[in-house]
Structure 1
Amino acid sequence: MASTHNGSAGQRLAGIDAARGLALLGMMATHIFPLWTAGANPEPSFSGLVLSGRSSALFAVLAGVGLGLLTGGSRPHSGRSLLADRSGIAVRAAIIAVVGLMLGTLNVSIAVILVHYAVLFLCALPFLQLRLPVLAAWAGGWLLLSPVAAYLLRPWLENTLGLASLGHNPMILDVFIPSRFLADIFVTGYYPVLHWLGYILVGLLIGRLDIRRAAVQLWLLSGGLAAAALAKAGSWLIMDGLGGYRQLASTEAAERPDFALIYQVNLSWVDTDDSWWWLGISGPHSGTTFDLLHTSGTAAIVLAICLLLTTKKPNLLLPLSGAGAMTLTLYTVHVWVMSLIPKNAVWPGDNEIYWVQVIVALSVGTTLHVLDRRGPFEFITSTASRTTRDAIRGGHRQYS
């Protein structure tokens, strides 16, 4: 939902918007379709096995890419321009947070990402001026160490301070209990900022590359493939080769009858604080180094492919890039629509609910692109952010 303009060129990168469109459709699928099949012998569904964890990670990595491009791309801004950028990003984050807090009041079984997303924007501000090697070190270190920090912090927050997760999407009233609210946002919630800042830093690192060049795009594709494969191989070595999975059999989470399925599709539903072996898994939403590295790699793969396809033909993926250019609006509408549909409705079924929303999202995105218009929430955030930046720059406008 961050801008994907390169400040120096003033043009959108259609490939980034297309990748964001794919992330949106993937997240919608995980919100609508079951993560495993029903019946006597349930199996992980396509949404659970392929999209769970990867779609939201792609969304976050692309946010970092957008921040990188917004602040100068391969030629990062400094001085007053950087101050203006940071102020504009803070305003953008505030608007996104307000939208997220409003969505938190809806009765919907969706973990709404927007408030965490907004906080991630604010946490990224100190990293915007870093040189590429330093930024790479921070990104790598964050992926490596943040899961360990979270593993140590979660029990301390719950036992010492008596704090746990909110148990629901953040809403305005939660702000008035700041300790619990911040604990949920940063450590114990569904999208803990402590882990997820790693995605932003990876995206920011990508945004600092000259990603308009085909050679860089190919390197990004190769790097993504290597990272995704290395993460799975490392996790397999620990969990299977060294017996980590057998060690987890004695934990409370493993006693659940659906544990084998959860292990493959969404580990945010179980307590993973009772054994260090949990840090060796790579399952979706586990928040381990292997999970963060694998999903960062798959995000880089999707982005590289979209960039390669659209560099010379920007409209090749137009329906996706059109929707990806207005994800804040479309995501918000999606959550609102899902809150209106009865949870046990016989009709419409999951397929109808999903594909109608997909067709509408792609059609609206394409139409607004052809008309050279922005989504309503994109217009509001962009206008507020740009006005703030221009005021600090002293009236010198730089489009985002």
Structure 2
Amino acid sequence: MSAMSRAERTDSGRLDDALIRPTRRLVGIDAARGLALVGLMAIHILPSWNEETGEASFTWRIFSGDSAALFALLAGVGLALTSGGSHPHEGKAMTADRIGLAIRAVLIAAVGLWIGTLMPEDAPADNILIYYGVFFLLAIPFLHAGPKVLFISAAVFGLVSPLLMQGLLNELPAWSNYNPTLTTVLTEPGATASQLLLTGTYPALPYMTYLLVGMGLGRLNLRKQEVQIRLLVIGVGIAIFAQATSYFLLYAFGGYQRLLDASSFGEEELAEVLIWGPDSLPTSTVWWLAIATPHTNTPLAIAASLGVSLAVLGAFLLIARKAEAWLLPLAAMGVMTLTLYTAHLVGLSFELHYDQPYLWFLIHVTLAALFAVAWYRALGQGPLERVVSLSAVPVTKLRSSWWRARPAVVFKP
């Protein structure tokens, strides 16, 4: 055998190992996911307003809407990384990825439906897991796409979904349970579907904007410092642009007065709606689409939360370059958010946190961090994450066998 052929064979063997072995985790992504979890815990437990002044609390202003958006964005990054990163899988490997994602979607939705049975009628929190199942199912057709297609698709979802939300609101059936259960799905399938797609707390169609942007980011080389800096700068720019545009539309171009004229709200009530958001996006005028209030899922609200999410991800990726060890508690929590978020919701279902919210928030966060660090150092992947991963073992074996059989290709981590 010639020297050239031996070298080619060696390179091919190394390539196969690289393709099969997972690359080193980006701690900044895990830490950002951990922060998103802490933000959701804060929104669920801590007061939303100051009892003395009646104004929105610091917690509400910092975390409301943005934590859930960051969660969805990072879920998209994870989907892209596990399906090939900057070089998306092809053929049977991509088919295996899609099957595995469908299995994950069903299992996560099942956990969400089970949690719904634990929650009281006046639930202390809205469960995002059932929505995540829908997010992942909707992501399957996009799993092979490159960044350009993903970013364009995200923009379409961000612009069209709010129009559908407002235009179809009076036509869609009303839902009865903030946290759907299997019974709800079977007895009210139409209402549950509309809730999960358009009218619920975390509607899948608008939230696909975050997920698809995250998938697009996962197709880039997030290890590059210039990419990380761009994320931070672009994120800050988008957030400022969205909030400024909303402000000018409302107060410089007459939008505020049009909202007053088209609704039954007085000025004080409208001011509250612009801070806390309406129960559902009113259909009285398209000017409601100019607001950027958290959880209203208007184009500008989506853009504002997307900008914050990009900036947070960029910042954590940059911090991790110099201070990775300091991010361990958040990163460990970020590795097992399914486990910790489920435990958090189960804890809330006992409704013990209302009298001393700050104490209970500290308890939830501290226990989550201690458990996550201990478990991660000892065993790595979280308990529920392991269950979900084991469910996809057959398709993972299919993908691995295909990689070993395929010709060598250029691979860039």
TM over 0.5: yes
2:346 to 336, 340, 344: 336
Post-superposition shift, 1:199? 1.0
Partner of 1:243 in structure 2?
254
C-alpha RMSD over aligned residues: 2.0
**Alpha-carbon distance, 1:10 to partner:** 2.6
Which segment drifts farther, 305-314 or 116-125?
305-314
- The answer to whether the Cα contact below 8 Å between 1:19 and 1:321 also exists between their aligned partners in 2 is yes
CA gap 1:359/1:289 in 2 versus in 1, 3 angstroms: same
**In the alignment, is residue 215 of structure 1 matched against residue 230 of structure 2?**
no
1:342-383 CA-to-partner distances (Å, cap 9, x unmatched) read 47x54xx01100001111111111112221432210110122
State the one-letter code of the partner of 1:232.
Q
Indicate the residue corresponding to 2:3 in structure 1. none
Residue range with higher mean Cα deviation, 16-25 or 233-242? 233-242
Deviating more after overlay: 275-284 vs 247-256: 247-256
* Per-residue CA distance 1:114-153 (angstroms, 9 max, x = gap): 0111110110111111232222211222212221122112
**1:391 has 2:398 as partner:** yes
* Structure (1 or 2) with the greater helix fraction: 2
User: Which runs of 5 or more structure 2 residues have no equivalent in the other structure?
Assistant: 1-18, 405-413
What CA deviation, in whole Å up to 9, does each residue of 1:271-298 have, x standing for no partner?
4222111000111011111011111110
Correspondence for 1:13 among 26, 29, 46: 26
Q: Please state how far the C-alpha of 1:260 moved relative to its aligned partner.
A: 2.4
CA-to-partner distance for each residue in 1:36-64, whole Å, 9 max, x for gaps? 1113x311101111111111111111111
Equivalent in the alignment of 1:373: 380
Q: Residue 216 of structure 1: CA displacement?
A: 0.7
Match of 1:88 among 85, 100, 105: 100
Cα pair 2:31 2:327 within 8 Å, conserved: yes
The offset of 1:9, in angstroms, is 4.5
Q: How do 1:193-204 residues align onto structure 2 when only pairs under 5 Å count?
A: 193-204=204-215
- Residue 78 of structure 1 corresponds to 90
The count of aligned residue pairs is: 382
Residue aligned with 2:202, SS: coil
TM-score (norm: length of structure 2):
0.88
Q: Deviations over 1:227-258 (max 9, x none)?
A: 11111121112111111112212354634965
- The residue that corresponds to 1:184 in the other structure is 195
Matches within 5 A, 1:1-400: 9-39=22-52, 41-105=53-117, 106-107=119-120, 108-157=123-172, 163-176=173-186, 177-252=188-263, 254-255=265-266, 259-264=270-275, 266-311=276-321, 313-342=323-352, 346=355, 349-391=356-398, 394=401
- List gaps (5 residues or longer) in structure 1: 1-5, 158-162
Alpha-carbon distance change, 7 to 111 in structure 1, aligned in 2, over 3 angstroms: farther
State whether residues 74 and 209 of structure 1, in contact with CA within 8 Å, keep that contact through their aligned partners in structure 2: yes
Larger Rg: 2
Distance 1:375 1:57, change over 3 A: same
1:254–1:293 distance in 2 versus 1, CA, 3 Å: same
For the 8 Å contact 2:280–2:296, the answer to whether it is kept is: no
Residues of 2 paired with 1:388 and 1:11: CA distance? Answer: 22
TM-score, normalisation: structure 1: 0.90
Q: How many angstroms does 1:312 deviate by?
A: 5.1
